[in-house]
Chains A and B, each alone.
Chain A
């Protein structure tokens, strides 16, 4: 799809307004004025050449430390939620996107997924496990609780409960295959923003897997719908115009 004129979109950048992949340091707004225009020559090609941004419906696919509103100029290519333009400039930083917001996003994803998984256990006649799972959310040792619960599902490696155990480990910066504590962010451990990106993806996978259990072939559409739901929920929290 291609649109002309000026398009308002969003762009995640690493700390210091640096592109995660391009390592380009973007000129930031100053004195009430937008940042300088950044432009590219040659043919626009998604992922290869162009100013890249996303719409509010695809925020969670590109989470990073800073979120900026960006003005895109001229025709905009849209490729699976990714917007590519010839020129763009940062117009304002979305201040609401910070570590606290990233942690809250991850917690919302995890809580929602715990709830859905518990519901699926009830449907499967495993009320006791469902109750244990639901109660684990309010416990300080939630991770241990879920990991122990997952052991009773070891005969079913694709069980959402197994993935949920992974997700609880990921939520505190650990790795599914490791029991040890993860290093702190300043010692090479994942940042709150990387964790939010990770948890959002894993939780969408679990939700899609639950749907697949109910109806064969439902995975893909459910995964995409869940990612869109996460994006729109985040956009609403950040009060971004739709």
Chain B
């Protein structure tokens, strides 16, 4: 049986279909019997759906260029 902490760590992989059959079964067996994890899984799904639905506004080309430049400079300095 997985722990609550493991459920928190595996939720993204579970939703993306990345878990093995036995891990998936362990995940589901835990969520069925653990009310807090049920709530957590359902909240995470709502959050992921909302983030996925949100459309990112297009950046003006000049702003995008300056952000990329700033990132490159920061990488070179790092």
Query: Measuring CB to CB, which residues of chain A are less than 8 angstroms from any residue of chain B?
Result: 20-21, 23, 45-48, 61-64, 82, 173, 175, 188-191, 194-195, 197-198, 200-201
Contact check, A45 vs B21: say whether CB atoms are below 8 A apart: yes
Which of chain A's residues have a CB closer than 8 A to the CB of B36?
A: 175, 190
Interface of B: prevailing SS? helix
**Surface stretch bound by A, among B22-30, B56-64, B67-75:** B22-30
Known A-B contacts A23-B45, A61-B29; A194 and B24 likewise in contact (beta carbons under 8 Å)? no
Q: How large is the interface on B (under 10, 10 to 19, 20 to 34, 35 or more residues)?
A: 10 to 19
Interface of A: prevailing SS? loop
Q: Which of B24, B33, B35 contacts A48 (CB 8 A)?
A: B24
Could you give 19 example pairs across A and B, Cβ below 8 Å?
A: A20-B31, A21-B28, A46-B21, A47-B21, A47-B24, A47-B25, A48-B21, A48-B24, A61-B29, A62-B32, A188-B39, A189-B35, A191-B35, A194-B38, A197-B32, A197-B33, A197-B35, A198-B35, A200-B33
Which of chain A's residues have a CB closer than 8 A to the CB of B31?
A: 20-21
Interface pairs A-B: 6 shortest CB-CB: A190-B35, A194-B35, A201-B33, A47-B24, A197-B33, A47-B25
Q: Roughly how many angstroms separate A46 CA and B21 CA in the complex, as a whole number?
A: 7
